[in-house]
Amino acid sequence: MNAYLQSVIENVKKKHGNEPEFVQTVEEVLSSVGPVIDRHPEYEKLDLLNRMVEPERMFTFRVVWMDDEGKYHTNIGYRFQFNGAIGPYKGGLRFQKNVYPGIIKFLGFEQVFKNALTGLPIGGAKGGSDFDPAGKSDAEIMRFCQSFMTALYRYIGPDVDVPAGDMGVGSREIGYLYGQYRRLKGTFENGVLTGKGMSYGGSLIRPEATGYGAVYYLQNVLEHEGESIKGKTIAASGFGNVAWGVCKKAAQLGAKVVTLSGPDGYIYDKDGVVTDEKINYLLEMRSSGHDKVKDYADKFGVEFFPGKKPWTVKADVVMPSAMQNDVHMEEAKQIVANNIKYYIEVANMPTTNDALNFLRQQKGMIVAPSKAVNAGGVATSALEMAQNSERLVWTKDDVDEHLHHIMNTIYKMSVDAAEKYDLGYDLVAGANIAGFERIAEAMKEQGIF
């Protein structure tokens, strides 16, 4: 490996030993870009890599809120504005009890490359809080969001930094956050947040976009292999907004998702999550706050496997759509043993690096990386920003068509980037390189920063 590259990775390992998720994503991304560094010696002179692994700005803030009994609680809020070279910082907020700087940093770093890969003018950021939404009342969520935004509003804006949702932050939270932003600023700047409700500037298809985009990407991969999506079975994990969109688009195109998972285990539905009733029920399960996928098994009389993940199930396609490090080495071996040809990551960093490398080495297996596959979500957020600044609303078909086109372009850019550096058909390296090239050029042209 290129010596400069190696030294940057070593530095990150030394400096961030207590943030393993961040080290993991830096190693994953940078291990792809060696050929680019070799071809562009000026990047080392400009020390681009050390600059890229250091967020432009990151801050934490105190978020104090009162529960329904009048008790005070104190959480930490985070916003890491990682890289703004190609556009305003953009990326979600995650509210989850295990949030700590290493999680926000890994997500922020991934976001920079993902956003660049969309071809749209959006920089990368991430934020959130160690607040645990489980079991909180609506009023508690509202007070928390108001307090969070009171601390954050000075540092964001439609041309500065545009947060959105992620785990634990959906349209309800975005609504409360925006209400507080508007109250504090006294202006209707709704381009400051994306994932909004339709009544105040949200975009049609944004809720579905991540899942829809993932299936459009899958279609590109299948087409490359001369196969059709019709009749394919998909083993997915998770049952949140992303898995929901995957189920919906897969069903529309004649494929079926046969597994879903939660913290309590997984369900197997041999008929697939294909009817409107089943697909809509996922939304109910999510908003109930139970966080249990067993509810699906109880309602539809399908099998439930407590405490297990769905990676032993035989299907045509695997789509991990839950969270980071969902597939480890053992599970990757199981997936290979089951002769699954398509491994399509959907959640951010769902695979450990050793498992990912193992899967990539399998002959005949196609591995697609999450930063390309799930980029339809943030891309549609950029379409929401465009609509807000144009002060108009696009039709559902308009947004869906744009999304479809963007996903095809992301796929093609990845394929081309890998070919350009003689790496063959390598969707993982291609995605990293395509994103990297765009950011590197913008940083180079903008001088010291």
Residue 352 as a binder of ligand GLU (CB under 6 A): the answer is no
Q: Give how far Cα 387 sits from Cα of 23, 114, 205, 330, Å.
A: 37, 21, 13, 45
In terms of CB distance, is 79 or 256 closer to ligand GLU?
79
Residue 378 as a binder of ligand GLU (CB under 6 A): the answer is yes
Give Cα 51 distance to the centre of its chain: 23
Q: What are residue 316's phi and psi, to 5 degrees?
A: -80, -35
- N-term to C-term CA, the chain: 27
Handedness of CA 89, 90, 94, 98 (dihedral sign): negative
Looking at this protein, which amino acid is placed at residue 120?
L
Spell 16-45 as b/e; 16+ CB within 10 A means b: beebebbbbbbebbbbbbbbbbeebeebbe
Kindly tell me which residue out of 164, 250, 257, 282 binds ligand GLU, with binding defined by CB under 6 A. Answer: 164
Kindly tell me which residue out of 83, 180, 190, 194 binds ligand GLU, with binding defined by CB under 6 A. Answer: 194
Residue 75 as a binder of ligand GLU (CB under 6 A): the answer is no
Kindly tell me which residue out of 55, 88, 92, 133 binds ligand GLU, with binding defined by CB under 6 A. Answer: 92
Instruction: Please choose, out of 18-26, 76-84, 87-95, 264-272, the segment that lies near ligand GLU by the rule CB under 6 A.
Output: 87-95
Residue 387 as a binder of ligand GLU (CB under 6 A): the answer is no
Could you give the strand order of the β-sheet that contains 57-66, starting from the edge strand earlier in sequence?
Answer: 57-66, 72-83, 124-129, 89-95, 161-164
Q: Which of 265, 260, 351, 350 is nearest to 308 (CA)?
A: 265
Specify the pairing of strand 72-83 against strand 317-319: unpaired
State the Cα–Cα distance between residues 128 and 140, nearest whole angstrom.
Answer: 16
Looking at this protein, which amino acid is placed at residue 425?
Y
In terms of CB distance, is 75 or 348 closer to ligand GLU?
348
Active site residue 126: yes
Residue 381 as a binder of ligand GLU (CB under 6 A): the answer is yes
- Closest chain position to ligand GLU (CB): 92
Helix, strand or coil for residue 72? strand
Residue 350 as a binder of ligand GLU (CB under 6 A): the answer is no
Smallest gap from residue 406 Cβ to ligand GLU (A) = 13
In terms of CB distance, is 25 or 258 closer to ligand GLU?
25
The owner of tokens 């966080």 is: 291
Residues 250-269 that bind ligand GLU (CB under 6 A): none
Smallest gap from residue 166 Cβ to ligand GLU (A) = 4
Residues 90, 114, 126, 256: which is the catalytic one? Answer: 126
Specify the pairing of strand 124-129 against strand 233-236: unpaired
Smallest gap from residue 402 Cβ to ligand GLU (A) = 15
The owner of tokens 């209707």 is: 188
In terms of CB distance, is 91 or 201 closer to ligand GLU?
91
Residue 105 as a binder of ligand GLU (CB under 6 A): the answer is no
In terms of CB distance, is 194 or 351 closer to ligand GLU?
194
In terms of CB distance, is 194 or 220 closer to ligand GLU?
194
In terms of CB distance, is 327 or 378 closer to ligand GLU?
378
Residue 213 as a binder of ligand GLU (CB under 6 A): the answer is no
By CB atoms closer than 10 A (0-12, 13-18, 19+), residue 243 is buried
Smallest gap from residue 377 Cβ to ligand GLU (A) = 4
Residue 348 as a binder of ligand GLU (CB under 6 A): the answer is yes
By CB atoms closer than 10 A (0-12, 13-18, 19+), residue 271 is exposed
Residue 191 as a binder of ligand GLU (CB under 6 A): the answer is no
By CB atoms closer than 10 A (0-12, 13-18, 19+), residue 329 is middle
Residue 177 as a binder of ligand GLU (CB under 6 A): the answer is no
- DSSP class per residue in 363-375: TT-EEE-HHHHTH
Instruction: Please choose, out of 61-69, 90-98, 150-158, 349-357, the segment that lies near ligand GLU by the rule CB under 6 A.
Output: 90-98
Looking at this protein, which amino acid is placed at residue 222?
L
Smallest gap from residue 139 Cβ to ligand GLU (A) = 25
Residue 435 as a binder of ligand GLU (CB under 6 A): the answer is no
> What are 76's two structure tokens?
């930490």
Specify the pairing of strand 72-83 against strand 124-129: antiparallel
In terms of CB distance, is 79 or 90 closer to ligand GLU?
90
Residue 245 as a binder of ligand GLU (CB under 6 A): the answer is no
Q: How many residues bind ligand GLU (CB under 6 A)?
A: 10
Active site residues: 126
* Residues lying near ligand GLU in the complex (CB under 6 A): 90-92, 164, 166, 194, 348, 377-378, 381
